[in-house]
């Protein structure tokens, strides 16, 4: 089924050796991992919220060009600007030393990053030490058949897979470059490897709203949770987002005509609010940055692949961690920069989608910030 015309057709204590070029071999990377000095400090923002969750974009590159996320003709960052795997490990470890309990690797598509399993394996030491509760990732599923076994072997137990449709032609239209069969094979490989899979579906008006019920029934039939997500006004996608925006308040009201939805206190550390669907027994999550924001309980910050720390997904204020990271083998300056950044974490975002404001609320693409 072709995409409607309303959607544009546009994707050990040794100091680290800091490099800015191509990744070094895996064995060298593992040899250079340091164990940080432990600290009792935790990260608390001006509103008393404990920051315990770090989302890390390991690359801005992706093998898809989803219409609500990227322009088709993307210009990607030069390698010298991207944090090396060693640097990513060092920043993540600094956050763990300050009380972060959950790490999520994102992109772009994290599994297209060269030698990414070396980073996953290294970060898994924090799971073994008990300093970290969860190491996970969000993926488009295209590389899961290749990496699912390694992810489980390195302590990953739960992943999110972004999947907006199960119709092959529509999938190609939304992702532009994606192969649905490859994603479905990846989901099966993940489940076979012992990974719990949650499907993330962006609700798009006039595109996939008729698939929400079939997607819910399929996910729950396969033992997977489903989370619905409102599209967010981030980055220039060469189109009008009012044509894509589908309020999840409307979706939930429609679902109530067919299903009994019971609010439950289930939490994964992210912004989704969950219900139990009586008829299927499965969980359904709603991520509603537009209709019912989740800012009051926000425990998250986001690190881009260039070392920029965003304290809020929907604000432009940010802190540069790459400069202090590369300036010294000591983490002192970087930790000070982290503390200062958390002291500026805002109360909430300012997302708006309407025809009078035909521009993104935030200029950067989601692929840069990390989905």
Backbone region of residue 5 per phi and psi (left: phi > 0; alpha: psi in -120 to 50; beta: other values): alpha
265-295: per-residue pLDDT in tens?
999 888 899 999 999 999 999 998 765 556 7
What is the value of pTM for the model shown? 0.82
| Dist. CA 307–CA 56, nearest whole Å | 9
pLDDT (tens, 9 = 90+) of the chain, 371 residues, equals 444 444 433 333 333 333 333 444 444 555 555 554 444 479 999 999 999 999 999 999 888 777 777 666 677 788 899 999 999 999 999 999 999 999 999 999 999 999 999 999 999 999 999 999 999 999 999 999 999 999 999 999 999 999 999 999 999 988 888 899 999 999 999 999 999 999 999 999 999 999 999 999 999 999 999 999 998 654 454 555 567 789 999 999 999 999 999 999 999 888 899 999 999 999 999 998 765 556 777 899 999 999 999 998 778 889 999 999 999 999 999 999 999 999 999 887 654 444 444 544 445 455 556 65
Q: Which two tokens stand for residue 244?
A: 């894509």
CATH annotation of 45-369: 3.20.20.70
Can you say how many angstroms the Cα of residue 214 is from the centroid of all Cα atoms in its chain? Answer: 24
pLDDT of residue 314: 73
Domain layout of the chain by residue ranges: 45-369
Can you say how many angstroms the Cα of residue 1 is from the centroid of all Cα atoms in its chain? Answer: 28
Contacts of 256 (CB under 8 A, 6+ apart): none
330-351: per-residue pLDDT in tens?
999 999 999 999 999 988 765 4
| Dist. CA 79–CA 109, nearest whole Å | 16
pLDDT of residue 290: 63
Angle between helix axes 116-123 and 144-153 (nearest 10 degrees) is: 20
| Dist. CA 268–CA 200, nearest whole Å | 13
pLDDT of residue 242: 61
pLDDT of residue 18: 34
């Amino acid at each position: 089924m072709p995409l409607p015309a309303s959607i544009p057709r546009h994707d050990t204590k040794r100091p680290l050796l800091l490099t800015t070029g191509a990744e070094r071999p895996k064995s060298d990377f593992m040899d250079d991992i340091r164990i940080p000095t432990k600290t009792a400090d935790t990260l608390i923002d001006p509103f008393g919220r404990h920051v315990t969750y770090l989302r890390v974009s390991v690359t801005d590159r992706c093998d898809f060009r989803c219409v609500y996320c990227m322009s088709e003709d993307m210009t990607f960052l030069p390698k010298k600007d991207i944090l090396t795997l060693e640097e990513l490990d060092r920043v993540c470890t600094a956050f763990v030393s300050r009380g972060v309990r959950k790490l999520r690797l994102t992109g772009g598509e994290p599994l297209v990053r060269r030698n990414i399993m070396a980073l996953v394996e290294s970060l898994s030491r924090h799971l073994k030490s008990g300093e970290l509760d969860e190491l996970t990732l969000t993926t488009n599923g295209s590389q899961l058949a290749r990496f699912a076994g390694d992810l489980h072997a390195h302590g990953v137990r739960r992943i999110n897979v972004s999947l907006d449709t199960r119709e092959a032609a529509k999938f190609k239209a939304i992702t532009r470059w994606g192969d649905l069969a490859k994603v479905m094979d990846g989901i099966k490989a993940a489940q076979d490897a012992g990974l719990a899979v949650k499907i993330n579906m962006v609700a798009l008006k006039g595109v996939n709203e008729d698939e929400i019920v079939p997607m819910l029934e399929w996910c729950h039939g396969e033992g997977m949770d489903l989370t619905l997500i409102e599209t967010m006004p981030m980055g220039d996608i060469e189109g009008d987002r009012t044509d894509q925006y589908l309020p999840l308040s409307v979706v939930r009201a429609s679902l109530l005509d067919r299903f009994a939805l019971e609010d439950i206190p289930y939490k994964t550390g992210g912004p989704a609010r969950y219900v139990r669907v009586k008829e299927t027994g499965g969980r359904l999550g709603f991520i509603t940055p537009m209709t019912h924001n989740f800012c009051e309980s926000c425990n998250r910050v986001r690190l881009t692949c260039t070392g920029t720390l965003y304290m809020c997904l929907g604000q432009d204020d940010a802190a540069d961690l790459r400069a202090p990271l590369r300036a010294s083998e000591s983490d002192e300056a970087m930790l000070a920069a982290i503390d200062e950044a958390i002291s500026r974490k805002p109360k909430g975002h300012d997302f708006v989608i309407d025809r009078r404001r035909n521009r993104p609320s935030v200029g950067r693409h989601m692929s840069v910030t990390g989905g």
